[in-house]
């Protein structure tokens, strides 16, 4: 907890009664959460794309329009 506070705010001291400090802390926590959310979303999209490509290669799913590069795959020749 202390390490995260130091990383976000540059100090390990918490000023609970300082409105500016608490506002900045909240903003940085929200920014960090949003960045993590974007990272997870990007990873899920990549994993889903790979899963869809695998299914298309195995013949369990028709390749979508975004999978034109699969037409060169030996399975589709």
pLDDT in tens, 44-60: 999 999 998 888 888 88
Buried b (16+ CB within 10 A) or exposed e, 49-70: eeeebeebbeeeeebeeebeee
pLDDT higher than threshold 80 for residue 21: yes
Q: How confident is the model at residue 77 (pLDDT cuts 50, 70, 90)?
A: low
Q: What is the pTM of this model?
A: 0.69
Domain count, the chain: 1
Average of per-residue pLDDT values in the chain = 86
Indicate whether 41 pLDDT > 90.
yes
Mean pLDDT throughout 25-54? Answer: 95
**Whole-number pLDDT of residue 12:** 76
- Domain with 30 in it: 2-76
Largest CA distance in the chain: 69
């Amino acid at each position: 907890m202390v390490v995260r506070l130091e990383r976000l705010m540059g100090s390990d001291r918490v000023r609970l009664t300082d409105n500016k400090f608490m506002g900045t802390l909240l903003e940085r926590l929200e920014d960090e959460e949003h960045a993590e959310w974007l990272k997870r979303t990007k990873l899920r999209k990549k994993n889903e794309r790979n899963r869809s490509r695998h299914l298309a290669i195995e013949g369990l799913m028709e390749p979508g329009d975004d999978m034109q590069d699969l037409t060169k795959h030996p399975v589709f020749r």
